[in-house]
Amino acid sequence: MSNNDIMKKLRVALSLNSDQIIEICNLVNFTVTKSELGDIFRNDEHPNFKKCGDQILRNFLNGLVIYKRGPREEKKV
């Protein structure tokens, strides 16, 4: 399964649109544009298809944790 497949499946499973995915990535200070997302979600035989790199998927997953759980609380010493 490719990173593109994982992104597609998460988008459908969580009912996310492009604006929400951009917002999730912004939570970890990672910038992604709508056109980049469109290229990632295209069919792999389309001329504008773009492979989803590990960095995009990693930042999206880290942002998704914050989006669903909230920011990490500081530990009291």
Q: What is the pTM of this model?
A: 0.86
DSSP string, 14-74: TT--HHHHHHHHHTTT----HHHHHHHTS-TTSTT--PPPHHHHHHHHHHHHHHHH-SPPP
pLDDT tens-digit readout, 11-50 = 999 999 999 999 999 999 999 999 999 999 999 999 999 9
